[in-house]
Amino acid sequence: MKRVVSISLGSSKRNHAVEIVMAGQSCRVERIGTDGNVAAMIGMIRELDGKVDCFGLGGMNLYVFAGNRRYILREARKVAAAARKSPIVDGSGLKNTLERQIICWLKENTGLLDNSPRVLMMSGADRYGMAKALTAAGCRIVYGDLIFTVGLPFPLYSLETLDRVARVLAPVICRLPLSMIYPTGKKQEENKPKAQGLFAQADIVAGDFHFIRRYMPEELPGKTVITNTTTAEDVAMLKGRGVATLVTTTPEFNGRSFGTNVMEALLVAVVGQGRELTDDEYAIMLEQLNFVPRIASLN
C-alpha cells in the first residue's frame, strides 16, 4: 500500500486519515498538524523520511508565483530540506494544472462564471494558475495579496500589477517567518474580519480556505466560494454565513477535501518515480483520473 503523509503547520484539530484507491493502487493518506510548530514539522519529516512514498508540505507554500517567476519561501525550504529520501511537494504543481483545469471546467459546464462575475482572490501569487484561468474566463478580479499577507491596505486589480509588486516585495516577504504571512496553528481557527467591503462587492471568493476562514465577514449572503481543504464543520460554517455555492477543487474523501499538497503527493506516490512530477506529467495523470470539482449548493 502506498503511504502519503501531509505534515502541516496548521492545527492538529484538522488531522485526518483515509484509505483510498487511486489509479488502481491502494493508498493510505494521513494529515498531521503541528499547531504552528516548525521544529515539530522538521522532526516528524526526519522521523518518517524513507518510510513514506511522498510527503505533502501543508500549511505553507514552498513556492509562490507571479508572471514567469517562482519565488522560494526561506522557512519552507528549511522544512522541505528535512526530507532526504522521500520526495516532498507543496501542491504548487497542482495549483498550476488541476486548478487551472477546474476553472475551465466551471466555465464550460456551469453558469457560475457567466456575466463577468466579480472575484475576490485572496492571493494571486498563491494560486497563480487559478488567477490566470479566472482572468481568461472574463472575471473581474481583485487580488488581496498585500491586504491578507502583509497587512498593507492596497487591493490589486490585474495580474500585471501583481507581477510588478511581486518583483519588488517578494524577495523580502519570502524571508519572513511563515507565521507573519499566513494563518498557522490556532490562527487557522480564529476569525478576524478584514477588508469587508471587498468581500461585500464580490460575487465569488476564491483561494486558500485558511485565508478565507481567517478574514471573511460574519455574513456572505449569496456568494460562491472556490477553495479546497474543507471539513464538514467548515461547510456547515459557510452555510451558516449564507454562502450559496461551495466549489472545492480537490475530491472529497470521507467528508472532507484534502489540500493540493496531499493530492499532489498522492499522484507522485502512485507514479512511483520517487520525485516531483513535471507539469506535463501532472496533466497526463489528471486526464487519466478525470478529476472534476465538487459543487455543493448550500443556500
The CATH number assigned to the domain holding 157 equals 3.40.50
- Do 208 and 271 have their domain in common? no
pLDDT tens-digit readout, 32-47 = 999 989 999 999 999 9
pLDDT (mean) for 263-281: 91
Please tell me the chain's helix, strand, coil percentages from 3-state DSSP, rounded to the nearest 5.
40, 20, 40
pLDDT digits (tens, 9 = 90+) for 113-138: 999 999 999 999 999 999 999 999 99
**CA-CA distance, 30 to 19, in Å (whole number)?**
9
In a domain, 297, yes or no: no
In a domain, 235, yes or no: yes
CA–CA distance, 41 with 176 (Å, rounded to integer): 18
Nearest-Å Rg of the Cα atoms of the chain is 18
Owning domain of residue 39: 2-90+259-291
∠ CA 32-74-261, nearest 5°, is 35
Q: Do residues 33 and 130 both lie within one domain?
A: no
Residues 140 and 274 in one domain: no
Q: Considering its fold, how many domains does the chain have in total?
A: 2
Kindly state whether residue 25 falls inside one of the protein's structural domains: yes
Q: Are 71 and 139 within one domain? A: no
In the numeric block, which cell numbers belong to residue 104? 475551465
Is 25 in the same domain as 78? Answer: yes
C-alpha cell at 124: 494571486
Confidence of residue 79 (pLDDT cuts 50, 70, 90): very high
86 in the same domain as 227: no
pLDDT of residue 131: 95
Q: Indicate whether 136 and 70 sit together in one domain.
A: no
Same domain, 199 and 217: yes
Confidence check: pLDDT of 267 > 90: yes
Q: What are phi and psi of 57, to 5 degrees?
A: -95, 105
d(CA 50, CA 87): 9
Query: What is residue 193's predicted lDDT score, i.e. its pLDDT?
Result: 95
**Phi-psi bin for 185: left (phi > 0), alpha (psi -120 to 50), beta?**
left
Task: Say whether both 55 and 129 belong to one domain.
Answer: no
- What pLDDT does residue 256 have? 67
30 band by pLDDT with thresholds 50, 70 and 90: very high
176 pLDDT band, cuts 50/70/90, is confident
Q: Is 194 a member of any domain?
A: yes
Q: What is the pTM of this model?
A: 0.89
- Helices 260-271 + 279-289 axis angle, to 10: 90
Q: How far apart are CA 181 and CA 173, in angstroms?
A: 8
Indicate whether 195 and 216 sit together in one domain: yes
What is the rounded distance in angstroms from the CA atom of residue 10 to the CA atom of residue 41? Answer: 10
Give the pLDDT of residue 255.
Answer: 66
Residues linked to residue 16 through DSSP beta bridges, in sequence order = 31
Question: How many Cβ atoms from other residues are within 10 Å of residue 25's Cβ?
Answer: 15
Model confidence band, residue 29 (pLDDT cutoffs 50, 70, 90): very high
Cα angle for residues 166, 64, 32 (degrees, 5° grid): 145
Q: Are residues 135 and 280 in the same domain?
A: no
Let me know if residue 193 belongs to a domain.
Answer: yes
Signed CA dihedral, 126, 207, 216, 253: sign only? negative
User: Which single residue is written with the C-alpha cell 507543496?
Assistant: 90
196 and 53 share one domain: no
User: What is the rounded average pLDDT of the residues 169-193?
Assistant: 83
* Strand extents, DSSP E, the chain: 2-8, 16-22, 25-33, 54-58, 63-66, 69-72, 88-89, 118-121, 140-143, 204-206, 224-227, 245-248, 252-253, 256-257, 294-297
Pairing outcome for strands 204-206 and 16-22 = unpaired
